Amino acid sequence: MNDILFERLQRRLGYAFEDSERLRLALSHRSVGAHNNERLEFLGDSILNFIIAQALFDKFPAAREGQLSRLRSQMVKGETLAEIAREFEIGPCLLLGEGEMKSGGQRRDSILADAVEAIIGAIYVEAGMQTCRERVLDWYQTRLATLSLDTPAKDAKTRLQEYMQSRQQPLPDYRVAEVDGEAHAQVFTVECHVSLLDTPERARASSRRVAEKKSAAQALKRLGV
């Protein structure tokens, strides 16, 4: 890994590893061989679920178990973790086998999400639960602050699709308008075409899927949903 990328990532994480090999291991996909991040990922997954569960328990004292479970699922699902990974620009730091690198593994949601969980596991192993909790809650600060018991369980694309179906309208059409940046750090501009709107909604993100969801959310807002 490039040392500059390595240091930059640690600054974004808000944590500097005393043993840099722990971070290297957390970023090592199984395609590099037996010395990979799967064990740290296993540990980090459990720790993340606990930290977020406790945060939700404290934030919503009147919430029922089912409501808390739904919100936790939204917070710890792979898609959310992949978004966090992109915010930290983890992709270019990943250690991948040649085949995985050529197939775009550093942009794949599942690999990015696993790396975030592995980093959580690595921080826990080195610094313990208190430091690990502080880092995770800092990463999730904005998401937790904007979360409410009324937060929809379905994502914007699903909600927009159901809205159009309920009105017997054609389904939304998502088109990639532009792709900028180097292969390892592409930015997608997506247009969401909706028959009930006279102009498409455009959104940019480092993932086509995220850009589609952003444009769908903007379309829902214009539709008054």
From 83, 100, 109, 117, active-site residue? 117
Q: Report the distance separating Cα 95 and Cα 112, nearest Å.
A: 11
Q: Which tokens sit at 140?
A: 């999730």
Q: Is 45 a catalytic residue?
A: yes
Neighbouring residues of 220: CB distance < 8 A, sequence distance ≥ 6: 156, 159, 160, 163
**Of 21, 25, 44, nearest in space to 36 by CA:** 25
From 45, 191, 201, 212, active-site residue? 45
Neighbouring residues of 104: CB distance < 8 A, sequence distance ≥ 6: 183
User: From the annotation, which residues make up the binding site?
Assistant: 41, 114, 117
Q: Is 173 a catalytic residue?
A: no
User: From the annotation, which residues make up the binding site for Mg(2+)?
Assistant: 41, 114, 117
What is the set of active-site residues? 45, 117
